[in-house]
A and B are shown apart, each in its own frame.
Chain A
Amino acid sequence: MLTVTDLAVAFQTRRGEVDAVRGISFEVSKGEILGIVGESGSGKSVTSYALMRILDAGGTIKAGEATYSGIDLRRSAEVDMRDIRGREISMIFQNPRAALNPIRKVGHQIEDVLRHHARATRYDAREKAIAALEAVKINDAEARYNAYPFELSGGMCQRIVCAIALACDPRLLIADEPTTGLDITTQKAVMDLVRDLIRERDMSSILITHDLGLAAQYCDRILVMKDGVIVEQGDPVQIFSNPHHPYSRKLVDATPRAGESVRSLLPKQERGEELNPKVSDEPLLEVRNLVKTYAGKSGPVHAVKGISFTINQGQCVGLVGESGCGKSTTSEILVRLLDATSGEVIFDGDDIARVPARSFTKDRRRADIQMVFQDATDSLNPRHTARQTIAEPLRRLGGMRGAMLTVRIEELAALVGLPLSLLDRFPHQLSGGQKARVGIARAVALEPKFLILDEPTAALDVSIQAVVLNLLVDLRAKLGLSYLFVSHDLHVVRLLCDHVIVMKDGEIVEQGAAKDVMTNPQSDYTKTLLAAAPKPPERRQVT
């Protein structure tokens, strides 16, 4: 149905031409779901934009052929391409909220497409738009027709993007990271919907994702891309159990799944000896009846509704839940950036919730509780070098100066595995993994007792996530740290944590030893979460 041969795409930049895709060939047959998997910069999205001929300014197809049902996609006139887009080939995108026009009613956006492709007239457009909304299983489609994107949830927005893409019954759907940034249960709902619609209408599809597990679950065939070339292709089970190319092996290894240890995420030759952290029965931090209520515009918002838990010395506790469950609020209260409405946070025998967040910066315990933030890029000052960033807490709270400071910074860099030559670089000159290391070095600079990790690997590629997770495990053992690991990724939590807390709507629905909660969940919600997580196929042979 779609045949691509030796496709190459290049971008004109100020520093000359950059090759994004370097001669790839593949085909999609009728009714097939093809997965394209790769990490950022692999050229997987660019490939799809090239097929649709919607490359950003400066991007051109340099060579190769792309043929869709006999139509030459590379050389067709723009007018013909406009007829193909939406009617023959459609796309859905990541970040669905941004992918919709923010100031146009969603119903009208669907009508625009219908009317452009002459699938509806002025008189029946509304009716057909509502039918399109119903096709993507939106409840109360009549009312949603008049909604603006900002009034809808992320999952709902993605359904609407689907409705727009599928309104004119295209034969091929390209889904570019359709569920990145969505909650895990929403991800499952959206992916199931997309798969069902594709099967129902006998369409073909290309699923572009960085998540090998997700691709394996939904695709008939997978391409693995790296640096603009296809390194391996085959059916998912085969790629998982017997990857040929070293890169796909690395990706498979790095994909967290049940029954593995955190070390096995790394390529075999890089796996170090596992260090055993010391966990004592002494509680380090006790949270009792913690409540946080915000004054909202339409009445008070109960973000955290009286939760209690304990973290022992040396323990790693996972805090799991979907967006809006109160996990971020909880972690901010614990790190003393936010004041609780009521409740106690007993740290080392004292109730630190009584010290207002504003004056906690001057508290002697400030150095004991530190945090690693979610977005490694946004949480670093863009005008500070890595050295300055790491020096900040040492100077402010540790009172270090001069040679002592330099020695300590280099010590820390070595500890987190950051080459000393990178210390004088600014954040934009560092890679995602290096920025994560800087953030971790800053957090452990003052030898805290307790570290809060707020989705520290959410924005990282899987292979880098594997490295960072291992670093965190090593640091915990070496420095005797206790962690509160906030995450939505159950697989990662299972690998890292001894104890798991599951939160929903500001309450703890379940907590217990990680093994028990993950293998034998008690609450329905935990069961739903576990069921929604992508399940990579079991490896047949252990490598």
Chain B
Amino acid sequence: MLRVAQSIPVVVGVVIISFLLTRALPGDPAVYFAGVTADAESIEQTRVAMGLDKPLTQQFFIYVGDLLQGDLGQSLSSGRSVAEDLAKRLPASLELTLTALLLAIAIAVPLGVLAATRPGTWVDHLCRVVVTAGVSLPTFFTGILLIYIFYYLLGVAPSPLGRLDFIYLDPDHVTGFYLIDAALMGDWETWRGAAKQLFLPATTLALFTLAPVARMTRASMLTALSSDFIRTARAVGLSSRTVLFRYAFRNALLPVVTTLGMVFSFALGANVLVEKVFAWPGIGSYAVDALVVSDYAAVQGFVLAMALLFVALNLVIDLLYTAIDPRIGFSSK
């Protein structure tokens, strides 16, 4: 509970900074939205209508007042309320990121563990190659490469346009995650369609996130395996599987979880590029579009949503820490 309270100043800070930063952006939204044919007078009218003629502090208090009522404002470019836009696009981004992350964990953690238990063998070298490749290849490049191979050359992947091919109907909105929604409906046809669309972008993102996780798993497993309590466990004859998982792996998990948290936030950032390449209707591409046209409300809404997401993420990671390591819960008391 204390941790939740600790995050309040962070959110307040984010509100202030995102407000100031968007105001500091070059470009005048009034000019943009008044249209190409507008003269000075109609630009001024637009400005008044948007509330941009008022002093900055007043604008800020209006914004905060609206925010407290749960109103994120109207997006000028899409014409809908920002909250509505975010509610539609955030699940798309989360679905992509989480799938990518799960994929990355599923590959990176076993790879790291294997590399650590057999240092100097081919698994270790493979791990090193994958890590180097993952770090050095930019996501937009791997994205385009994957599209080229799987869509253009092999033709096994669907066209990289959005979350679902037009022949399918969107599943009913429950969570906003198409895979979960389709499964809830029992509509496996749509599920397969969504999974196919998701596969390439998720792989792209997974390649990027996999590298730090694999490296950290390997390093922390090596540390754990060389520690004294592993020697104790071996000296009393415990089987190597028990030693590896119950003793070494759980101790190695802590830094891995830390890295996962960091990787998750990188992935949200890297999303923007992947979403652009795959025409994924997520919030990354939404924010970029809004930024280009100085759509203040949309940008602020995006930054706020991200901040809340990070706060929630850190909370989850803290909770995971205490679940893994009894020492941490003890010291915070």
Contact = CB atoms under 8 A, between A and B. Distances in A.
Interface of A: 52, 54, 56-57, 81-87, 90-91, 93, 95, 98-104, 112-113, 116-117, 148, 150-151, 161, 164-165, 167-168, 297
Contacts of A150: 326-327, 330
Interface in B212-265: 226-229, 231-239, 242, 246-247, 250-251
Contacts of A82: 237-239
12 contacts: A54-B234, A84-B237, A85-B235, A85-B236, A91-B232, A93-B232, A100-B229, A103-B324, A104-B250, A116-B238, A150-B327, A161-B232
B325 to A, nearest CB: 5
Contacts of A101: 229, 232-233, 247, 251
Given A102-B229, A117-B237, A165-B235, 11 more contacts: A81-B237, A98-B229, A102-B251, A102-B327, A103-B324, A103-B325, A103-B326, A112-B238, A116-B236, A148-B327, A164-B232
Contacts of A102: 229, 251, 325, 327
A116 B237 CA distance: 8
Interface string B11-44: 0000000000000000000000000000000000
A82 B227 CA distance: 19
Nearest to A85: B237
Given A86-B237, A103-B324, A104-B246, A95 B228 contact: yes
Contact of A112 (B231, B242, B324): B242
Contacts of A83: 237
A479 B325 CA distance: 52
A112 B235 contact: no
B238 A148 contact: no
Contacts of A90: 235-236
A3 to B, nearest CB: 21
Contacts of B226: 56
A180 to B, nearest CB: 13
Nearest to B326: A148
B246 to A, nearest CB: 7
B12 to A, nearest CB: 29
A57 B327 CA distance: 30
Given A86-B237, A104-B247, A116-B242, A99 B326 contact: no
B99 to A, nearest CB: 30
How many B residues touch the partner, as a band? 20 to 34
Interface of B: 119, 226-229, 231-239, 242, 246-247, 250-251, 324-327, 330, 333
B237 A113 contact: yes
Contacts of B247: 101, 104
A167 B237 CA distance: 12
A378 to B, nearest CB: 19
B38 to A, nearest CB: 65
A95 B228 CA distance: 8
A112 B246 contact: yes
Given A101-B247, A102-B251, A148-B326, A54 B238 contact: no
A113 B238 contact: yes
Name, among B119, B228, B333, the residue most crowded by chain A CB atoms within 10 Å (CB to CB). Answer: B228
A117 B242 CA distance: 13
Contacts of A99: 228-229, 231-232
A103 B250 contact: yes
Nearest to B233: A101
A86 B235 contact: yes
B227 A98 contact: yes
Contacts of B327: 102-103, 148, 150
Contacts of B239: 82, 116
Nearest to B325: A103
Contacts of A85: 234-237
A117 B237 CA distance: 8
Contacts of A56: 226
Nearest to A48: B235
A87 B325 contact: no
Contacts of B325: 102-103
Contacts of A165: 235-236
Choose among B119, B227, B231 the residue with the greatest number of A CB atoms under 10 Å from its CB. Answer: B231
Contacts of B234: 52, 54, 85
A52 B238 contact: no
Nearest to B229: A101
A177 B28 CA distance: 75
A296 to B, nearest CB: 12
B323 to A, nearest CB: 10
Contact of A98 (B228, B233, B238): B228
Contact of A86 (B227, B229, B231, B236): B236
A54 B233 CA distance: 10
A87 B237 contact: yes
A116 B235 CA distance: 12
A85 B231 CA distance: 12
Nearest to A95: B228
Contacts of B229: 98-102
Contacts of B251: 101-103
B157 to A, nearest CB: 43
A81 B239 CA distance: 10
Contacts of A112: 233, 238, 242, 246
From B247, B324, B333, residue with most partner A Cβ within 10 Å: B247
Contacts of A151: 330
Contacts of B333: 297
